[in-house]
Amino acid sequence: MKPIFSSSKALFAIAFAFTITSCGGEKERPEVIAKLRGLGVEQTPVNASPGSTVDVVFHLAAASGLTLNAQPFLDTASKYGPAALVTLIDKTATETKLNNASHYKLRAQLVIPSTPEVNALTLVQGLARVRFGVKLTSSSDGDDETIVADALVYKAGSEQLTWKAPTIEIAEPVLDSISNSTTLGANIQSTGSEKNRVGWFVTNGKVKNPAAKSSVWSEIPAGDQTLFLTVRGTKSGAFSIKTKTVKVN
Instruction: Give the residue-averaged pLDDT of 182-194.
Output: 88
Average pLDDT of the chain? Answer: 88
User: What is the CATH topology of the domain spanning 10-248?
Assistant: Immunoglobulin-like (2.60.40)
pLDDT of residue 226 exceeding 70: yes
- Indicate the pLDDT class of residue 88, thresholds 50, 70 and 90: very high
The one-letter amino acid code at 61 reads: A
The conformational region for residue 223 under phi > 0 = left, psi -120 to 50 = alpha, else beta, is: left
- Report the distance separating Cα 225 and Cα 62, nearest Å: 13
pLDDT score at 78: 81
Instruction: Give the residue-averaged pLDDT of 224-242.
Output: 95
- Report the distance separating Cα 128 and Cα 151, nearest Å: 8
Cis, bond preceding 45 (omega within 30 deg of 0): yes
Q: What is the pLDDT of residues 208-223, one digit of tens each?
A: 999 999 999 999 999 9
Q: What number of other Cβ atoms are within 10 A of residue 147's Cβ?
A: 25
Please tell me which residue, 17 or 95, carries the higher pLDDT value.
Answer: 95
The one-letter amino acid code at 75 reads: D
For residue 80, give the nearest of 11, 151, 161 by alpha carbon: 151
Residue 121 three-state SS: helix
CA 197 centroid distance within chain: 12
Do residues 150 and 130 make contact, with C-beta atoms less than 8 angstroms apart? yes
- Indicate the pLDDT class of residue 19, thresholds 50, 70 and 90: very low
Q: What number of other Cβ atoms are within 10 A of residue 157's Cβ?
A: 8
The conformational region for residue 113 under phi > 0 = left, psi -120 to 50 = alpha, else beta, is: beta
pLDDT score at 26: 42
The one-letter amino acid code at 8 reads: S
The pTM of the whole model exceeds 0.85: yes
- Report the distance separating Cα 122 and Cα 142, nearest Å: 40
pLDDT score at 12: 54
Per-domain boundaries in the chain: 10-248
For residue 3, give the nearest of 57, 63, 48 by alpha carbon: 63
pLDDT score at 10: 43
- Indicate the pLDDT class of residue 87, thresholds 50, 70 and 90: very high
pLDDT of residue 195 exceeding 50: yes
- Indicate the pLDDT class of residue 44, thresholds 50, 70 and 90: very high
